[in-house]
């Protein structure tokens, strides 16, 4: 087993992906700061190219491949946003790309992956089932797998977010990040804690199918049933053979909280009505956790908004008061 990624890997990633990903703004939320009587900053990473932070890790992982690996091409399982990000990075580099998703993946995310020239495989009703197609493509067609979260270069790429946040808000003492497979939380936590050890990092997931939360409680990766949720980007397992993201999250995360669908809907609404931002469910959980009172804000609190690729019909329904997926 190779070693876990470090702050040095994050700085290498930052140089590697410079010019290929946006440096997103960090802005004060007047509305949340007023409501919570604490300074709250929003890292507007949902404005990243391809609509999510996943472009950082996917671009870093793709550019770190050697010529032989690039000739073979890449394959990944995805809840949608990693697939879109990897497809974008692969298309830019002229590399073959196959993305395997489950039937739970929203149609708008599937369409975006195909529009970037990737081969899309829709398999089963969970990401664990879609993973079997990844394994087949690796074995039969020699593609190189790029995990959405359990990959050193992916975690190092997501860690560039932690560096950016502390460059602009060196006094930050709490950071809220959405939590699924843990690539984002592991990357952000490893970077910010290497720079400032006292900083508190909180992971936020949904009640419906929180595999990392259950794994942290069990002390080892466990399987959880995948369910439809407004936070579709946070669905899926963490891999029973998880190597990097689970140990890092277990060691570095200070708190992990769970949200109901109604709380996530309130986060999406707040982002739109108060912040004038379109944010997907998985991206709005940090706001939602503060609004629900499930996370006590610190002195200077940073909320990472991670993605915006919500189906706009669902977004309209939520803005108009819906508190769950129409199907759920």
Ligand X SMILES: *Cc1c(COP(=O)(O)O)cnc(C)c1O
Site string for ligand X, 99-138 (x = CB under 6 A): ----------------------------------------
| Nearest residue (CB) to ligand X, 42 versus 149 | 149
Q: In the bound complex, what is the minimum distance in angstroms from residue 91's beta carbon to ligand X?
A: 19
Q: In the bound complex, what is the minimum distance in angstroms from residue 60's beta carbon to ligand X?
A: 13
Tell how far CA 256 is from the center of its chain. Answer: 15
Q: In the bound complex, what is the minimum distance in angstroms from residue 67's beta carbon to ligand X?
A: 28
Structure-block tokens of residue 131: 């993973």
Q: Does 162 bind ligand X (CB under 6 A)?
A: no
Sequence-ordered list of residues with C-beta below 8 angstroms from that of 232, at least 6 positions apart, any chain: 79, 80, 104, 105, 106, 109, 280, 281, 282
Considering only 89-97, 98-106, 139-147, 180-188, which stretch makes contact with ligand X by CB under 6 A? Answer: 180-188
Return the residue of 16, 43, 54, 270 that touches ligand X, per CB under 6 A.
Answer: 54
Burial code (b: 16+ CB inside 10 Å, e: under 16) for 95-132 equals bbbbbbbbebbbeebbebbeebebbbbebbebbbebbe
Q: Does 229 bind ligand X (CB under 6 A)?
A: no
Return the residue of 42, 112, 192, 233 that touches ligand X, per CB under 6 A.
Answer: 233
Residues that bind ligand X (CB under 6 A): 52, 54, 81, 148-149, 178-185, 233-234, 280, 282-283, 306-307
């Amino acid at each position: 087993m190779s070693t876990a990624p470090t702050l040095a890997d994050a700085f290498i990633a930052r140089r590697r992906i410079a010019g290929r990903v946006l440096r997103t703004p960090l802005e004060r939320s007047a509305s949340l700061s007023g409501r919570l009587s604490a300074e709250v900053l929003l890292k507007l990473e949902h404005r990243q190219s391809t609509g999510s932070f996943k472009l950082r890790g996917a671009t870093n992982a793709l550019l770190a491949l050697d010529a032989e690996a690039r000739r073979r091409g890449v394959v990944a399982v995805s809840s949608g946003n990693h697939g879109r990000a990897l497809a974008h990075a692969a298309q830019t580099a002229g590399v073959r790309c196959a993305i395997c998703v489950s039937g739970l993946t929203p149609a708008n995310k599937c369409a975006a992956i195909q529009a970037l020239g990737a081969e899309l495989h829709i398999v089963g009703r969970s990401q664990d089932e879609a993973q079997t197609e990844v394994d087949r493509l690796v074995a039969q067609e020699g593609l190189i797998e790029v995990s959405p979260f359990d990959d050193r270069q992916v975690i190092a790429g997501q860690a560039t977010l932690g560096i950016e946040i502390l460059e602009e808000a060196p006094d930050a003492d709490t950071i809220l990040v959405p939590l699924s497979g843990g690539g984002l939380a592991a990357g952000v936590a490893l970077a910010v804690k290497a720079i400032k050890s006292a900083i508190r990092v909180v992971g936020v997931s949904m009640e419906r199918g929180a595999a990392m939360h259950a794994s942290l409680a069990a002390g080892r990766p466990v399987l959880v049933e995948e369910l439809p949720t407004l936070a579709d980007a946070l669905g899926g397992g963490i891999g029973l053979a998880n190597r990097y993201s689970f140990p890092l999250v277990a060691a570095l995360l200070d708190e992990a909280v769970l949200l109901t669908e109604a709380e996530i809907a309130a986060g999406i609404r707040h982002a739109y009505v108060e912040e004038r931002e379109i944010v997907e469910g998985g991206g709005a959980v940090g706001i939602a956790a503060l609004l629900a009172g499930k996370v006590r804000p610190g002195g200077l609190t940073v909320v990472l908004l991670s993605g915006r690729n919500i189906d706009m019909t669902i977004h309209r329904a939520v803005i108009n008061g819906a508190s769950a997926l129409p199907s759920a």
